[in-house]
Amino acid sequence: MARNKIVVGCQWGDEGKGKVVDLLAAEADIVARFQGGANAGHTIVIGDRQYILHLIPSGIIHPGKECYIGNGVVMDPFALKEELDLLTGKGIDWRGRLFVSPATNLVLPYHKLIEDVQERSRGAANLGTTRRGIGPAYVDKVARHGIRVIDLLAPERLRKKLDYQRIIKATYLEGSDDERADLNRTYDDLMGLVDMLAPLVVDVSLALRRAVAAGKSILFEGAQGCLLDVDLGTYPFGTSSNTTVGGALTGLGVGPHMIDEVIGVVKAYTTRVGAGPFPTELIDKTGEQLRNIGREFGASTGRPRRCGWLDLVVLRHSIGVNGVDAIAVTKLDVLDGLDEIKVCTAYQLDEQTIDEVPLDLYRLDEVKPVYRTFPGWRTETTGITTFDGLPTNAREYLGFIADDLKVKIALVSTGAKRTETIVV
């Protein structure tokens, strides 16, 4: 029986989902993205080649695998074209194996313009978004005036929908000399993409159900992380989609029986880009060291990532809301040089010790982490491929995490490359 797995991020994104999906894709027939958009940056390193994917499922790197973009994604068609051209340039043949749902909403230039205005207006309280137009595109979707992929195949309807945008977005668009406000131009540019996009459009839900019935297996690729989920994360400091498992069902049109195993990706420490609470953040030399050794700079925006210790309280929340069966621990090697490693096991709040996230997630800003300190291993783990080959202190660190979270460890990543992995 084929086993369908879902890979979700358990922290604030950039856990190493791209690498994990690439590894698991080897055993799957199909890789499907269900939410988010080009705000994602998923890195895959094979030998000395690096691929950074934003919209296209990471399975595309594997010859012959089919890739699906579901209705839950917000797709920037211009970013898609750029990404496809890049893949073509790298010799990756994607034709005939990338598919998009007709109901996928589009991110258009005016969404980015609106986001720029909104972020600027927020001043010091800005969210630090990726400025990929994600929020404004989801707003349009939920407000029921979004433009969908299928509208590109009905030019009259597209024209009418754009005319309506002109009215409802007048505050942003009227009188603007920003070229992204020019909807005639957007229409023309979109028409230029129709030949490329039309062959990709299929009933994704039906295709996935048929594939499973035919014995094929699906790997669901999450973007962002649990704490960025619009409902279950550190709202409003998060993204606009459901990054957690439920997003896969609505974002692809499949039932819960389609998911056999939930893999949560956990970085061996914590990072986040953008604003918002981060209890274990290190604003010191150790934080700097994690950033430099872990090369913690955004794969989409190049922004330095904020770094800190592993937070088990946050992870208990992620494991719970996603129903995680097993975790993939990444970037263990980044901790190699540290004398000691801390793990947050609880928070102090209102003179009480709590071991779950506070009811009001806003209050994550006020909690004081309670740490347990582990001795470092001070040996290089980069490239180690067996669990027994790890230094004792590293095994103890991992064992403690798995015991606390009551989950299995499915794999440990000891370097960015495909081969630098321990399959447990």
Q: Nearest Cα to 244, choosing from 6, 408, 73?
A: 6
Contact flag: residue 127 with ligand IMO (CB under 6 A): yes
Cis preceding-peptide flag for 304 (omega within 30 of 0): no
CB 226 within 8 A of CB 10: yes
Report the residue number, 41 or 253, with the smaller CB distance to Mg ion.
41
Residue 285's SS3 state is helix
Which of 315, 328, 310 has the alpha carbon at shortest distance from 413? 328
> Binder to ligand GDP among 8, 18, 266, 270 (CB under 6 A)?
18
**DSSP three-state, residue 305:** coil
End-to-end CA distance of the chain: 21
Which of ligand IMO, Mg ion, ligand GDP, none has residue 72 at its interface (CB below 5 to 8 Å by kind)?
none
Tell which positions 271-310 bind ligand GDP, by CB under 6 A.
Answer: 295, 299
Of 160 and 303, nearer to ligand IMO (C-beta) is: 303
39 binds, among ligand GDP, ligand IMO, Mg ion, none (CB under 5 to 8 A by kind): ligand IMO
The interface mask with Mg ion, positions 381-400, x = CB under 5 A, is --------------------
Residue among 65, 111, 109, 38 at smallest CA distance from 211: 65
Phi, psi for residue 216 in degrees, rounded to 5: -85, 160
Site size toward Mg ion (CB under 5 A) is 3
**Residue with Cβ nearer ligand GDP (249 or 335):** 335
- Rounded to whole angstroms, how far apart are CA atoms 36 and 396? 35
Q: What binding mask, one character per residue, do residues 250-289 give for Mg ion by CB under 5 A, x or -?
A: ----------------------------------------
Over its C-alpha atoms, the chain yields an Rg (Å, rounded) of 21
List beta partners, residue 105. 74, 148
Q: What is the largest CA-CA distance in the chain?
A: 66
54 belongs to the catalytic site: no
Q: Which residue has the tokens 């340039």?
A: 89
Q: How far is the C-alpha of 133 from the C-alpha of 300, rounded, in Å?
A: 13
* Residue 307 contact, options ligand IMO, ligand GDP, Mg ion, none, Cβ 5-8 Å cut-off depending on partner type: none
Q: How many CA atoms lie within 13 A of 51 on its CB side?
A: 28
Kindly tell me which residue out of 5, 8, 12, 19 binds ligand GDP, with binding defined by CB under 6 A.
19
Amino acid type, 50: Q
- H or E stretch including 30? strand 30-33
Catalytic residue among 22, 42, 76, 317: 42
Chosen from Mg ion, ligand GDP, ligand IMO, none, partner binding at 228 (C-beta under 5 to 8 Å by type): ligand IMO
Binding flag, residue 299, Mg ion (CB under 5 A) = yes
Q: Per-residue string for binding with ligand GDP, 354-393, x by CB under 6 A?
A: ----------------------------------------
Q: Does the annotation mark 14 as catalytic?
A: yes
Q: Is 37 in the site for ligand GDP (CB under 6 A)?
A: no
List residues binding ligand GDP (CB under 6 A).
9, 13-19, 41-43, 45, 295, 299, 330-331, 333-334, 413-416
List residues binding ligand IMO (CB under 6 A).
9, 12-14, 39-42, 127-130, 132, 134-135, 223-225, 228, 238-240, 273-274, 299
Catalytic residues: 14, 42
